[in-house]
Chain A
Amino acid sequence: MKEIISAIIVLAALGVIFGIVLAVAAKAFHVQIDEREEEINDILPGANCGACGFAGCAACAGAIVKGTAEVSCCTGVGDDALNQIAEIMGSGPVERVKTVARVRCVGTSEDMKKFEYQGIHDCLSATKVGGGSPNKCAYGCLGLGTCVKACKFDALKIVDGLPVADERFCTGCGACLKACPKGIMELVPVDATYFVSCASQSNAKDTMAACKSGCIGCGLCVKKCPSEAIKVANGFASIDYEKCTGCGICAEVCPKKIIHKL
């Protein structure tokens, strides 16, 4: 009997002592957390995609409250949610361009393969064999879906060997851009009208040898563009979507027909 009573007393005493210690500790080690931080964290998507450059959504919310990050630094929130964040932070409504991910390749048919790749189903692994790519074009899409795996929003799908983003789900976070070992994914404004579907940095001769429709960087589109929206750099043409008016002259003059209407 004595042991039972002493056990009850000791455990009760331990419990009370620890309770008091924890209560005191909670007061002594209290950390002031800004309410806004939690509110913003609730609005953010919670995918922790890291596109904002912070460790996760909670870190991003903290940075927004501290002012070290832009109110609009998260590309994953919708317009309503963005305005809610702006309201919490007391800044005016924010406008921004919605972008979607697109791949700068038109795909590789069987005769454009150097060999048949049968290894691990992953683009990065495929770049480790046969001089960087099973395709003749060193900048061609491998179509093994590393970008699809990187997408936190289930927006990408491989269709006919090329990743296609669903505009409804793509938030323009850019996770696929980082995952692509070839670096041929690009964020394009959702209302863009023309798109150069190639990012081959090889010279014109090598590009022509590898692919019938690759951009050879001839610069015809640059010369003909009335609004000076196209530039050729690193051997391929790129459109500046802020200047592009969507006239379509570039697509007409392109000898390779690699500038497509979206």
Chain B
Amino acid sequence: MNLTGFISLSLGAILIENVIFSQFLGICPFMGVSKKMDSAVGMGIAVTFVLVLSSIVCWVVNRFLLVPLNIEYMQTVAFILVIASLVQFVELFLQKNIPSLYQSLGIYLPLITTNCAVLGIAIANIDRGYGLGSSIAYGLTSGIGFLLAIVLFASVREQMEVSSDFPKPFKGFPEAMLAGGLLALAFMGFSGLSVFG
């Protein structure tokens, strides 16, 4: 993959087809873990980390196991199996070898086990016929897109906490839904963007 291809792929994944704002994948952690900036950043980094790993492993499983045996229709089941085990394995590995990273990612890792963004990106990689390099790049940049979205949203919610004048029934989750919708609308502005033709 050349540099132009990479830039166009990553701009697409981060802005134009942002996992959250235009593909609507991974909404659960987006709404759930965006109350505080610290936890939003932790969640974003953990998702990015798992996305890259799962992109690699799922691509390998698909290419060397599902395709030769002609059972691509089992993709979803196989990928969930792969991702769930992978996340468990990574968690065990981090706890032993990189305790500091485990401390900061620890509580978020199990949440990602069945995150639809992770499964969605793994399937998108296959559907679009990406090679291994493109799959990793797409996984990484989608993760960065997720990080960007959740960090933006957390900063909006932190601000709303002190300064919004919503009536009482709108406090908390409803106002977060409204803010999330407006943020997604703002990201629609990128839909006309295309890179190098």
Q: Do the two shown chains form a genuine complex with each other?
A: yes
Supply 6 further A-B pairs (C-beta < 8 A) apart from A11-B77, A11-B78, A125-B163.
A3-B69, A6-B71, A11-B81, A14-B65, A22-B92, A122-B163
Question: What B residues does A14 contact at CB under 8 A?
Answer: 61, 65, 78, 81-82
Question: What A residues does B89 contact at CB under 8 A?
Answer: 21-22, 25
**Chain A nearest CB: distance from B38 CB in Å?**
10
**Chain A nearest CB: distance from B72 CB in Å?**
10
Contact at A25–B81, with CB atoms within 8 Å? Answer: no
Question: What B residues does A26 contact at CB under 8 A?
Answer: 92
Contact at B81–A15, with CB atoms within 8 Å? Answer: yes
Q: Digitize B70-85: 1 where CB-to-A-CB distance is under 8 Å, 0 elsewhere.
A: 1101100110011001
Contact at B85–A18, with CB atoms within 8 Å? Answer: yes
**Chain A nearest CB: distance from B182 CB in Å?**
20
Contact at A21–B85, with CB atoms within 8 Å? Answer: yes
Question: What B residues does A233 contact at CB under 8 A?
Answer: none
Contact at B92–A10, with CB atoms within 8 Å? Answer: no
Given A6-B69, A6-B71: A29 touches B97 (CB 8 Å cut-off): yes
Q: Give the residue name and chain of the B residue nearest to A19 (CB).
A: B85
Contact at B70–A30, with CB atoms within 8 Å? Answer: no
Q: Give the residue name and chain of the B residue nearest to A2 (CB).
A: B70
Contact at B93–A29, with CB atoms within 8 Å? Answer: yes
Number of interface residues of A (CB under 8 A): 22
Contact at B95–A29, with CB atoms within 8 Å? Answer: yes
Question: What A residues does B93 contact at CB under 8 A?
Answer: 25, 29
Question: What A residues does B78 contact at CB under 8 A?
Answer: 10-11, 14
Interface residues of A in 70-123 (CB under 8 A from B): 120-122
Q: Give the residue name and chain of the A residue nearest to B77 (CB).
A: A11
Q: Contacting B74 at CB < 8 Å: which of A11, A28, A121? A: A11
**Chain B nearest CB: distance from A236 CB in Å?**
30
A163 to B39, CA, bound (A): 30
Cβ of A31 within 8 Å of any chain B Cβ, yes or no, is yes
Question: What B residues does A11 contact at CB under 8 A?
Answer: 74, 77-78, 81
Question: What B residues does A21 contact at CB under 8 A?
Answer: 85, 89
Cβ of B162 within 8 Å of any chain A Cβ, yes or no, is yes
A10 to B67, CA, bound (A): 12
Q: Give the residue name and chain of the B residue nearest to A4 (CB).
A: B71
Q: Contacting A22 at CB < 8 Å: which of B77, B88, B103? A: B88
Q: Digitize A25-37: 1 where CB-to-B-CB distance is under 8 Å, 0 elsewhere.
A: 1101111000000
Q: List 21 A-B contacts (CB under 8 A).
A: A3-B69, A3-B70, A6-B71, A7-B73, A10-B71, A11-B74, A11-B78, A11-B81, A14-B61, A15-B81, A18-B81, A18-B85, A22-B89, A26-B92, A29-B92, A29-B93, A29-B95, A29-B96, A30-B96, A31-B95, A31-B96
Given A22-B89, A22-B92, A26-B92: A10 touches B162 (CB 8 Å cut-off): no
